[in-house]
């Protein structure tokens, strides 16, 4: 069982889906995303690798910031 990283056609944000799924509800805008090879941007064999890929995609797109050590703020 593998995992896919796909991009929502409505809001453009990436999310995870299982390989065997045909569609997925976007966790950000709520639209139903049909899973096709056109909106899949990456794949992984296990959940941990898929989460890391998703995190890296979000970092590159500026959707999330890298977490910092709280001591850096004081």
Q: What is the CATH number of the domain that holds 28?
A: 3.90.820
Residue 42 tokens read as 């990456």
Identify the pLDDT of residue 60: 87
34 lies in some domain: yes
- Quote the number of domains for the chain: 1
> What pLDDT is stored for residue 23 in this prediction?
96
Sequential pLDDT tens for the chain (74 residues): 799 999 999 999 999 999 999 999 999 999 999 999 999 999 999 999 999 999 999 888 876 555 555 555 45
Q: Is 64 exposed, middle or buried (0-12, 13-18, 19+ CB in 10 A)?
A: exposed
**Which residues constitute the domain of residue 35?**
3-63
The pLDDT of residue 63: 62
CA nearest to 27, candidates 53, 8, 55: 8
């Amino acid at each position: 069982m593998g995992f896919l990283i796909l991009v929502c056609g409505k809001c453009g944000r990436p999310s995870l889906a299982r390989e065997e799924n045909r569609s997925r509800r976007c966790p950000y805008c709520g639209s139903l995303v049909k899973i096709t090879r056109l909106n899949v941007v990456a794949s992984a064999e296990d959940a941990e690798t898929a989460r890391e890929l998703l995190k890296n995609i979000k970092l590159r797109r500026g959707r999330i910031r890298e977490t910092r050590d709280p001591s850096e703020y004081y």
